Structures are given as C-alpha cells and as structure tokens.
Structure 1
C-alpha cells in the first residue's frame, strides 16, 4: 500500500510538472456539457471578480440535450448558506446561458475556455447579459468535488493565470460541510426575495 501511495504521488508530481511547462489550449473549443453533466457537485474554486461569495457550489438536478437545472449554493454576507434553482440553455458547444428559475431576463453567459479531463477542473468566462447585474465580466476556476479539491484545482491554474494574474480563492476547507446530502431538490428560493435578486452573490470579502 505504501509503495502504491508513493507511486501515485510521483505520477501526480510528473503530471503537474508537465502542465506547468505546457501552455493550456485556451483557443480550443471544449464541450461544456461534458463538464456540467455530472452528479458530482461542482465548486467555484477561484474567481477574478471583485465581489464574490465563499463556498459557491452547483449541484445538478435535471439534464436534457439542450437544458439543465441545478441548485446554486453560496454563503451570504453573514456566512449563512443560501440556495436557488438555476436553469441553463446550451447555445454552442462551449457556451451555456443561465438564469434563475422563473426569471429569464436575468441572464448570464458562461463559456468553457479550458477543461482538464483528468482532474475535472475548468475555466469559465462569466459575462452578464443584463444590466441588472452591472458589468459582470470575469473568469472562474471550477472543479468537481473530490477528497482534495485544492489539488484538483491546481491543474487549471496555469490556464487561469494566462488570462488574469489577480484571482481570489473562494473555496475553503470548511465549504465541504455545504455538500448536499439527500436534501430536497425542489425549487428553493431565499425567503423574502424574488428570483433574480439572489442568483449571483456580490459580497466584498
């Protein structure tokens, strides 16, 4: 068992040494469905945005060839967990347009710029299509949940650094307590607020 562990560590070290030297293929067209169509929760590990929330997590609820529904979780300014249902419509191979359930006018364009198939992490360009959110134009590093999220996310950092050098890490170890375990996947909305006002957090932290 010890030898197997050492061998695994050596393989990981060799892989990361390789990706550090290799320029990520940002210009390649990646399939965003392959990144999003998973029952594994997806974390937003890092963002280039100025305002952001900790522990942002997406959990797939339903998928169709052209559409997906998922639950978006995050911590608000008081570090209380919030969640809302999001709907996404696939446009092109690498593009999806998402909005809060029941609020199509609050639309966000998400484009998959890079995808590491080994460590299941990706770089997403996020662009607001509505003036409601102001000028949202940022990059996010997202990664499938695993026993070591930070290690998996590391594989995509060269691609993110190529686009922007200043990033905010919004995933913390404490975020693992937010991973949903058998809870209802009905359409949750934050109490007292209509859909569209709570889909994308904009805290200064």
Structure 2
C-alpha cells in the first residue's frame, strides 16, 4: 500500500513540476514582450496583406510591464508616414498586444504565432476590425538580423500561416531611408 502511495506522490509531483516549470518543452513560450523588448528597429520583411507600402518599421520608445510606446513608419511612394502608437500587453495571452493610436483611429491586435529562439525574427498575426475582421500575417525581423536572409524556420512558419509567398516590404535601401 505504501509503495502505491509513494508512486502516486511521485507521479503527482512530476506532473505538477512539468506543467509549472519553465523548461518543460510543451509550454507556450511565445511572449510578445520578449520580441518587442529592443531598442533596435524591427522591420516587417514580408506581409500577407496586398499593399503598396514598403520599408515598414517599428521603433520602440518606452517599454513598461503593461505596455510599449512605439513609432511605426513606412513609405507609400516617396511619402513617409509615421504614427505614434501604444501597445498594451494582454495579461492572460502573453503572445498578444492590442495596439491603438492616440485618437483611437487605429485599433488592432497582434499575436506572435512563431518566434525564433534567438529573437531575431517572428511571425505575427495582425487582426484589424476596420472593415470587418481582417487577419493578415507579417514576418518581422530585428534590425540586427536584417542584413541576412530570414531564418528558414521563420520563412516556413510565415508561408504556412499566410498560405503564400507574401509581399516583400523590406528592401536594401530601407535602412538608408529611415535615417533621412
């Protein structure tokens, strides 16, 4: 009888440990805070959205536990557009942040669906509700990794989620445009 109780105790302890510990391989490690916690620009390399913009970049200005303030910029033709945005982190779904603009004209959620271990790239699901609910996918890359092709795992996850190649937003000249 004592052997069964001892075995049951070990099994219970093992189960609790597996589900509570950070090293457990099946835990959901996608935390959008980890990816946006950088002072370097984050570029949108590919998107599933049919668009005529290019050189889309996020620059994170103020990072707090509950939110991040950032500047999102892009070019449409030769004209540059920049918006100051606020992203609030979801306390329950760590992979999500809700983005709004000061006037409330922009409102969307962004969910990390894949993130590389070294945080150099991520696939992000963008959900907007301006014209009904619309979902698109972005492949985003930190500035430190933009000079090389995105990791193959990031590309695979993007194609799997987007269902196609995607539209290239990042070009080699984008970094020069950002500085001007």
SS at match of 1:55: strand
Q: Where do residues 105-144 of structure 1 align in structure 2 (5 Å cutoff)?
A: 106-118=106-118, 120-131=120-131, 135-144=133-142
Q: Where do residues 64-103 of structure 1 align in structure 2 (5 Å cutoff)?
A: 64-76=64-76, 78-91=77-90, 92-100=93-101, 102-103=102-103
1:35 equivalenced with 2:35 (yes/no): yes
- The Cα shift of 1:63 comes to 1.1
Greater RCO (CA < 8 Å, at least 6 residues apart): 1
Equivalent residue number for residue 56 of structure 2: 56
User: In the superposition, relative to structure 1, how do residues 147 and 98 fare at CA in structure 2: closer, same or farther (>3 Å)?
Assistant: closer
Question: d(CA) in 1 for partners of 2:169 and 2:105?
Answer: 27
- The Cα shift of 1:154 comes to 4.3
SS at match of 2:149: helix
Equivalent residue number for residue 154 of structure 2: 156
SS at match of 2:158: helix
TM-score, normalisation: structure 2: 0.75
Question: d(CA) in 2 for partners of 1:158 and 1:113?
Answer: 12
CA contact (8 A) 1:143 1:149 kept: no
- The Cα shift of 1:84 comes to 1.2
SS at match of 1:173: coil
SS at match of 2:150: helix
1:178 equivalenced with 2:177 (yes/no): yes
Q: CA RMSD in A?
A: 2.3
- The Cα shift of 1:46 comes to 0.1
TM-score, normalisation: structure 1: 0.67
- The Cα shift of 1:135 comes to 4.5
Provide Cα deviations, 1:72-99, integer angstroms capped at 9, x if missing partner. Answer: 11002x3222211011011120000002
Q: Structure 2: give runs of 5+ residues left out of the alignment.
A: 1-24
